[in-house]
């Protein structure tokens, strides 16, 4: 059984402003947890607007969970002050790793508070599983990158990172580029399926 203190520390979604510079060690800890324990990883979808509730429900049942979040700036209407808040990166989606050796199964996950179900891509309803190396790659994609200055070096087939929006931190493969409009077309893999996307040069990082 995984020590709760270890995997709670591995969760990156609760970092405060003063902890921002410590992001990379947290990422490395989470990756080490994924590599070091024989967990079965899958995608959980929460009830509407219940991502954090589902995350807490999984934790309370002893299930390892990861809720990626993004930091966004909001301007308060009255004071006009800019505040930074965290919000779930994927609407209704988070990740869970069950420990078969500890007697956990996906019914444990489905019964957690705030959870509506487990992602399945077949008619039998079998959970869509994420291999450990794919989970590590996903975590790396959710880490920060350096923004590109212009589109001079963008080429078809190149791998670039999406830094913001619904698909923030995912790597896309460029399928077409229109320099005059600074528009980039590409595709990336989301839960086992290829997804097409249209974006601008300013919204990409290397």
Same domain, 104 and 33: yes
Assess whether pLDDT exceeds 80 at residue 41. Answer: yes
Quick one: 187 and 111 in the same domain?
no
Residues 85 and 177 both lie in one domain: no
CB atoms within 10 A of CB 139: 21
Structural domain includes residue 93: yes
* Inside any domain, residue 151: no
Asked if residue 103 and residue 175 are part of one domain, the reply reads no
Tens-digit pLDDT profile for residues 116-160 = 999 987 778 889 898 888 888 777 766 544 444 444 457 788 787
Give 51 or 91, the one with higher predicted confidence: 51
Q: Which pLDDT belongs to residue 168?
A: 64
63-91 pLDDT tens trace:
988 888 777 777 777 888 888 777 887 88
Are 68 and 38 within one domain?
yes
Q: Examine the domain organization and report whether 110 and 192 are in the same domain.
A: no
Q: Where are the beta strands (DSSP E) in 58-205?
A: 64-66, 69-75, 82-88, 93-98, 115-118, 129-130, 159-161, 171-178, 183-190, 193-200
Residue 83, domain extent: 4-141
Question: How far is CA 86 from each of CA 17, 62, 75, 81, rounded to the nearest angstrom?
Answer: 10, 24, 14, 16
Identify whether the C-beta of residue 199 lies closer than 8 Å to the C-beta of residue 188.
Answer: no
Question: In whole numbers, what is the pLDDT of the chain averaged over residues?
Answer: 76
Do both 90 and 53 map to the same domain?
yes
35 and 62 in a single domain? The answer is yes
Do residues 119 and 179 share a domain?
Answer: no
Q: Which residue has the higher pLDDT, 111 or 38?
A: 111
SS3 199: strand
pTM: 0.59
Q: Are 169 and 71 within one domain? A: no
94 & 35 share domain: yes
For residue 119, tell me if it sits in a domain: yes
Number of domains in the chain: 2
The answer as to whether 152 is a domain residue is no
């Amino acid at each position: 059984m995984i020590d709760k203190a270890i995997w709670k520390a591995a969760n990156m979604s609760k970092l405060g402003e003063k902890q921002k510079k410590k992001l990379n060690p947290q990422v490395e800890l989470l990756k080490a947890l994924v590599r070091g324990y024989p967990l079965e990883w899958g995608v959980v979808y929460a009830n509407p607007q219940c991502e954090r509730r589902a995350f807490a429900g999984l934790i309370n049942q002893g299930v390892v969970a990861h809720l990626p979040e993004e930091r966004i700036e909001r301007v308060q209407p009255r004071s006009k002050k800019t505040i930074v808040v965290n919000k779930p990166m994927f609407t209704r989606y988070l990740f869970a790793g069950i420990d078969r050796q500890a007697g956990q199964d996906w019914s444990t996950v489905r019964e957690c508070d705030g959870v509506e179900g487990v992602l399945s891509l077949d008619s039998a309803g079998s959970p869509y599983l994420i291999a450990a190396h794919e989970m590590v790659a996903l975590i790396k994609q959710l880490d920060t990158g350096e923004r590109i200055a212009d589109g001079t070096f963008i080429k078809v087939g190149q791998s670039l990172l999406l830094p913001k929006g619904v698909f923030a931190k995912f790597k896309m493969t460029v399928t077409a580029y229109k320099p005059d409009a600074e528009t980039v077309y590409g595709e990336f893999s989301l839960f086992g399926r290829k997804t097409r996307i249209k974006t601008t040069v300013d919204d990409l990082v290397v």
